[in-house]
Amino acid sequence: MRISVIGTGYVGLVAGTCLADTGHRVICVDIDEERIARLKRGELSIYEPGLEELLTRNIEEERLSFTSDTGEAVAKSLLVFLCVGTPSLENGEHDISALMGAAEHVARVMDGYRIIVNKSTGPAGTTARIAARMRELTGHEFDVVVNPEFIKEGAAVDDFLRPDRIVVGCEDVRVLEIMRELYAPFLRTGKPFLAMDLASAEMSKLAVNAMLAARISVMNEFATFCEAAGADVSHVREAVAADGRIGAGYLFPGLGFGGSCLPKDVIACAAWAEKLGLDAPLLRAAAAVNDAALRRFIGRIRSFYGEAVARKRIAIWGTTFKPRTDDLRGAPALRVIDALLGAGAAIHAYDPVAGKKLAALYGDRIRVAAKNYDALVDADGLVICTEWNEFRRPDYDRMAELMRERVIFDGRNLYTPATLEQNGFQYFSVGRG
């Protein structure tokens, strides 16, 4: 099939590359001409394991190409995927203006029948709005499809190639069969192809993110209870995870979830409910618990040092919102850094892949280390914000030699308290009495 993908962020670039890898002809479109030029050279604008190899191979095989000309791409395609960002407005709702703008542009340049596939996240009814607006702008026939993405940053390629399920909202059985054929190579292990109406498909994406956020928030709330009761949340988590009705996923407590999806979509769902005249106490509670977990973690650091924090040098390990990505959007580490900078502390930070982005964001306000141990030189404390694997088995003797004070604030519970005590560290984790 011939496909165009509007937008080359995480969703668009992963979707376009993986679809090309199954033999389709894919043209990815972006208004950022500099980004397009880099992609044509095989240079990624994001860090995503496994993506660069797929991208390079499919460019060389001439199945994948890039352009800033939407008209050129749409003219050569039957399916047009909309993969445009929908960030938060001030009131928490999804900002679908860029998505609507992209759909309007497609309507103006299309020269015949097209299938419009919306992968962007928005409230139920968004794709119907897209269809209504496009009908105002074109006399050509088209069908609309909702095809939400469920990929995780850091595992996006694997999630796309081996999905848990494919969700398709569609009103035409013929179009549905085209979508079923498109995704057949990814469902050979028997994972379900779920066909439904447009609004239900849109709601599915929001419900999944809300459920994940709620699970993390419940464990973060129990982490607080465990600390107060002298219990260990790690043991509690194991007991909960062993329950067949619950399972182990997304039950790790910490300093709070971040990223560009969960925080945004949870708040957007609550704002949308309010707009509909409904209450959403669970969604608002999930967002509030997440915020409280981070504030409590920052408060613990501030409380330990007191006013002396202004004379301290603090090392930060991990600044992305999760490992295996260079994405700083919504990263809890940034709030930690901002709070400590505001208190007068000096920050030496290290992240395995996001160093350049971190330096561009903060400039000379912080020092970005080239290696993890470099950040520890003369540090009065270490704050761990992201659970990169390379942090899990450190050289404690080397850490002790480099640091001025042996203090660790572990926002991801990477270490065992007894081990740190044996090595002479003051250790503060999450949810351990």
Tens of pLDDT, residues 44-66: 989 999 999 999 999 999 999 99
Q: Which of 18, 170, 261, 385 is catalytic?
A: 261
Domain with CATH 3.40.50.720 in the chain: 2-195, 197-433
Mean pLDDT of the chain: 97
- Which of 258, 75, 79, 41 has the alpha carbon at shortest distance from 181? 79
φ, ψ for residue 328 (rounded to 5)? -100, -5
- How far, in Å, CA of 258 to CA of 331, rounded? 5
Cα 217 to Cα 224: distance, rounded to the nearest angstrom = 11
pLDDT at 114 over 90: yes
* Residue 309 · residue 345 · CB < 8 Å: yes
pLDDT number for residue 163: 97
pLDDT of residue 203: 97
Q: What is the pLDDT of residue 45?
A: 83
- Amino acid residing at 20: A
Q: Give the whole-angstrom CA distance, residue 232 versus residue 254.
A: 13
Q: Indicate the DSSP class of residue 389.
A: G
pLDDT tens-place string over residues 268-305: 999 999 999 999 999 999 999 999 999 999 999 999 99
- What radius of gyration do the chain's Cα atoms show? 23
Q: Are 385 and 357 in contact (CB under 8 A)?
A: no
Give the 3-state secondary structure of residue 191.
coil
Q: Quick one: average pLDDT of 232-244? A: 97
Look at residues 390, 412, 424 and name the one whose alpha carbon lies nearest to residue 233: 412
Structurally, at CATH architecture level, domain 197-433 sits in 3-Layer(aba) Sandwich (3.40)
Asked if 268 contacts 94 with a C-beta cutoff of 8 angstroms, the reply is: yes
Q: What is the pLDDT of residues 178-211, one digit of tens each?
A: 999 999 999 999 999 999 999 999 999 999 999 9
Interatomic CA distance for residues 268 and 266, integer angstroms? 5
Q: Which residue has the tokens 């903060």?
A: 362
Residues 294, 362: Cα–Cα separation, whole Å: 20
Contact 166, 189 (CB under 8 A): no
Return the number of other C-beta atoms located less than 10 Å from residue 69's C-beta. Answer: 13
> CA–CA distance from 80 to each of 7, 16, 113, 125, 427 (Å)?
11, 11, 11, 19, 52
Give me the CATH topology for the region 2-195: Rossmann fold (3.40.50)
Amino acid found at 423: N
pLDDT of the residue at 312: 98
Element (DSSP H or E) covering residue 143: strand 142-146
Eight-state DSSP code of residue 194 = E
55 close to 20: Cβ distance less than 8 angstroms: no
Is the pLDDT at 377 greater than 90? The verdict is yes
DSSP 432: B
Whole-number pLDDT of residue 336: 98
Contacts 24+ apart (CB under 8 A), 259-262: 259/153, 259/321, 259/322, 259/327, 259/329, 259/330, 259/331, 260/85, 260/87, 260/327, 260/329, 260/330, 261/121, 261/209, 262/209, 262/212, 262/213, 262/216
Active site residue 28: no
| Residue 18 pLDDT > 90 | yes
Q: pLDDT by residue (tens digit) across 384-410?
A: 999 999 999 999 999 999 999 999 999
Residue 211: the pLDDT is: 96
At residue 245, what is the residue type? R
Note the pTM of the prediction, 2 decimals: 0.92
CA distance 118 to 62: 25
Q: Give percent of the chain with pLDDT exceeding 90.
A: 99
Give the model's confidence band at 433: pLDDT under 50 very low, under 70 low, under 90 confident, else very high.
confident
CA distance 336 to 339: 5
Q: Which pLDDT band holds residue 348 (cuts at 50, 70, 90)?
A: very high
Q: Residue 384 has what pLDDT?
A: 98
Hey, what are 236's tokens?
């509690």
CA neighbor of 175 nearest in space, from 120, 115, 110: 115
